[in-house]
Amino acid sequence: WRWMDKLESLWKTLSFIHFVHFLWQGRYASLVDRMLGMRLTTKSSSLPRLMSFEYMNRILIWSTFTEFVVFLLPFIEIKSWFRRTRALFSTRPSAAASTESGERCGVCEASPPHSPHAAGCGHVFCYYCLKSEMMADEHFACPHCGTLATSIARC
């Protein structure tokens, strides 16, 4: 299976190189087209063209670019980006008020929190909510203040 892994990594590397070359010149739409030498050409030059090859190549470039972005999406921690954005634009109560009162869980909004525990920043959560969020995302940020939750303390 090692040779299969090496072959797969070679294919991915060649595909990336082809993608960059395609963005530069726009001649071959895929690596298979390049290997087989298949290009877009007219069958007869006497027929009028409704769409130019340049326009079609632009469409191919953008579709290839979107495929590349979709390829990169699994490597981006989208959940943590959403949390950080939500923490910036959150309309929840201030950090001091939620820390002092300790009335609601910062994740599920349970009032009062079940088995209340505080994150490193001092905000109160249900133990299950806080522990499951920290296990799911090792870079879990507090939804109230956005600080990285590294420790749990019983309230």
Classify residue 106 by its DSSP letter. Answer: T
Task: Reply yes or no on whether the pLDDT at 117 is more than 70.
Answer: yes
Give the strand pairing for 124-126 and 116-119: antiparallel
Share of the chain above pLDDT 70, in %: 80
Question: Measured between alpha carbons, how far is 124 from 153 in angstroms, rounded to an integer?
Answer: 9
Q: Which residue has the higher pLDDT, 133 or 76?
A: 133
pTM: 0.37
Question: Measured between alpha carbons, how far is 131 from 49 in angstroms, rounded to an integer?
Answer: 62
Instruction: Please name the residue ranges forming H helices in 37-77.
Output: 53-72
Residue 41 one-letter amino acid: T
Q: Helix %, strand %, coil % for the chain, to 5?
A: 50, 10, 40
pLDDT digits (tens, 9 = 90+) for 54-70: 677 778 888 888 898 88
Q: Which residue has the higher pLDDT, 95 or 13?
A: 13
Nearest to 65 by CA among 9, 16, 14, 8: 16
The owner of tokens 């921690």 is 77
pLDDT digits (tens, 9 = 90+) for 69-101: 888 877 777 777 777 777 777 655 444 444 444
